[in-house]
Structure 1
Amino acid sequence: MDVSYRKYYLYNEDIKESENFNDEFMLKGKSLYEVIRIIDGVPVFLEEHMNRLNNSEKLMDLKLPYGIEEIKERIYKLIKENHCDLGNIKLVFNFFHEKCDFYAYFLKHNYPEKSDYLNGVETIFFHGERDNPNAKVINLSFRDRVDAKIKEKQVYEAILVDRNGNITEGSKSNIFMIEKNNVFTSPIEKVLPGITRDIIIKVIKKCGYSVIEKEFNYKNIDRLDGMFISGTSPQVLPIKSVENVKFNSADNEVIKNIMAGYDKEIEEYIRKNKNKE
């Protein structure tokens, strides 16, 4: 369950003290959410997050009470009140009994260590599917099952495999696979349309590599030259192993170029938006 990590959280329009925060609201009704990374006081790729939120509300036939400018104001208000310009903020819209409540709070972030980027991380397969992969909807029972398996195996991430044996995404990330100069990833209709995923696809094309969105059976991963995770917290993170299959992803030239290109995209976004708050 969630904890409001900093001193204050936001409830609708009001700043509240985190010692009174209770996340039991997520057990009621339906909740749409986004997790946005804050770097140097800037909510990174905020517009893309809001577009995905709008897509989720349409898919779930719900109506958000605020527009993007109101949400943006609340995010900056939370950053200012907590005097915190680095971390992850979670936005939750909870729909219950024809009412929608808005929550925004800092999560205790878990960014990869420098050694994880230099060496890659260990992962496992998890055979399971989200009910609605395109919508970012809180599903606590699915989340708990995957987290329990990750903890049991002491790995960084679980790679989801659907009923047909195809790799879809990570439990909290997207997955990319490298074969020579080709980069494979699951078709968009099979996954959550990740913000980092979209930026990375643009970076891959800028680097001159081919992006192929197609189903890829998990039994064929031994033919790959490397794999990596993408997401708000990990950004571009090489995979060292999946179960017993080993990779040298951290030294793969394609992955290294994609990592550098993504870092440049973040730097440029922060530079352009630093003084807009």
Structure 2
Amino acid sequence: MATTLKTCILNGQLIPLSQATISLANIEYSYGFGVYESVMVLRGKPIFAQEHCERLLESASAIELQHPFSTETMHAWLHTLIEQISQERYNCKMLLIGAKEAGNAQLAILPLNPRFPEKKLYTYGAPVITYAYQRTIPNAKTLNMLGSYLAYREAQKQNCYEALLQDTEGNLREGTRTNFFVVSGGTILSPPNEKILEGITRKHILDIAAKEGIPVRYTDIPVQTLGEYDSAFLSSSTGKIMPVRKIGDIEYTEIPETTRRLMELYDALLKKQSPENRNA
């Protein structure tokens, strides 16, 4: 069994990660005609794998990417790769690259070390920026990532955790790799589903909110209204629920009980999903 992340799957075959290459002449890849998902693996178990596999297929369908792969195939290949790795926590990136013919599509599964947020951010909140960019097909997680790359690069230049994407109407939709929420008087507000990529973590947060009786409202969140809310937070597979301390010049001085409760309950959900050992 490998102890480092040096093996991957390419169309069902285990190969060294160094050999997982693609030609510079591949037009589909160059133009971003592909979709991807990142699955967290904890102690040998892929977390919410079924949902990630289903969303990968939904993204492919949204851009009319034809391929021969099923969720069952993805599950089998994912587990084949996981069996080769003893590292306790890492991510598996599933990368589906389209082709002119469905039979030539490529599915790669790559193990990667995630960049975990600093622990202090969960206590004090993370600073973020806003960036004017609107994804072309919001419900698909595609390889067309230039806008998000530039936005995140700008956030890094300003020593910020994330960049929130602002649409042409001045509304904040999502982060480059996160979903976005604000809290007002105990009610959670989130952008409408049709305008964003519905994150797997976001879906579980909203399920928790429903079970706990926490009101949720789906609505546009204009940049100019940020000062009217009690707080804000982000969600992602790696970052879980990340409270926001500052958005540009708007600062949130406290993390309200609603957000803290969601953080506790989501952590508890992840703990249930993760086996105590690899044989669990």
| TM-score, reference length from structure 1 | 0.91
One-letter amino acid of the counterpart of residue 20, structure 1: Q
Q: Per the alignment, in what secondary structure is the counterpart of residue 81 of structure 1?
A: coil
Contact 1:179/1:224 (8 A) holds in 2: yes
Alpha-carbon distance, 1:273 to partner: 11
Equivalence map 1:150-165=2 (5 Å): 150-165=155-170
2:243 to 220, 229, 238: 238
Alpha-carbon distance, 1:178 to partner: 0.4
> What is the total number of aligned residue pairs between the two structures?
271
1:60 aligns to what? 63
1:268 aligns to what? 272
One-letter amino acid of the counterpart of residue 44, structure 2: G
Alpha-carbon distance, 1:31 to partner: 0.9
Alpha-carbon distance, 1:51 to partner: 2.0
Q: 1:273 to 1:44 in 2, by over 3 A?
A: farther
**What's the Cα RMSD here?**
2.0
1:113 aligns to what? 118
Which of 71-80 and 159-168 deviates more? 71-80
Q: Deviations over 1:49-71 (max 9, x none)?
A: 12212221221122332222221
Q: 1:275 to 1:28 in 2, by over 3 A?
A: farther
Q: 1:28 to 1:9 in 2, by over 3 A?
A: farther
One-letter amino acid of the counterpart of residue 59, structure 2: S
Equivalence map 1:60-209=2 (5 Å): 60-98=63-101, 99-209=104-214
1:12 aligns to what? 11
Contact 2:95/2:108 (8 A) holds in 1: yes
2:30 aligns to what? 27
Q: Deviations over 1:140-176 (max 9, x none)?
A: 3223311321222121100111111111011111001
Alpha-carbon distance, 1:97 to partner: 2.9
Which of 9-18 and 264-273 deviates more? 264-273
Contact 1:158/1:171 (8 A) holds in 2: yes
Where does the alignment leave 5 or more consecutive residues of structure 1 unmatched?
none
Q: 1:274 to 1:68 in 2, by over 3 A?
A: farther
Q: 1:29 to 1:202 in 2, by over 3 A?
A: closer
One-letter amino acid of the counterpart of residue 272, structure 2: E
Q: Per the alignment, in what secondary structure is the counterpart of residue 84 of structure 2?
A: helix
CA distance in 1, matches of 2:100, 2:258: 50
CA distance in 2, matches of 1:217, 1:40: 41
Contact 1:29/1:97 (8 A) holds in 2: no
CA distance in 2, matches of 1:82, 1:267: 21
One-letter amino acid of the counterpart of residue 153, structure 1: Q
Alpha-carbon distance, 1:271 to partner: 4.7
CA distance in 2, matches of 1:232, 1:118: 18
CA distance in 1, matches of 2:52, 2:11: 19
CA distance in 1, matches of 2:148, 2:186: 34
Contact 1:207/1:257 (8 A) holds in 2: no
| TM-score, reference length from structure 2 | 0.90
One-letter amino acid of the counterpart of residue 71, structure 2: I
CA distance in 2, matches of 1:246, 1:17: 47
One-letter amino acid of the counterpart of residue 54, structure 2: N
Q: 1:272 to 1:190 in 2, by over 3 A?
A: farther
Contact 1:239/1:247 (8 A) holds in 2: yes
The percent of aligned pairs where both chains have the same amino acid is: 25
Alpha-carbon distance, 1:10 to partner: 1.2
1:218 aligns to what? 223
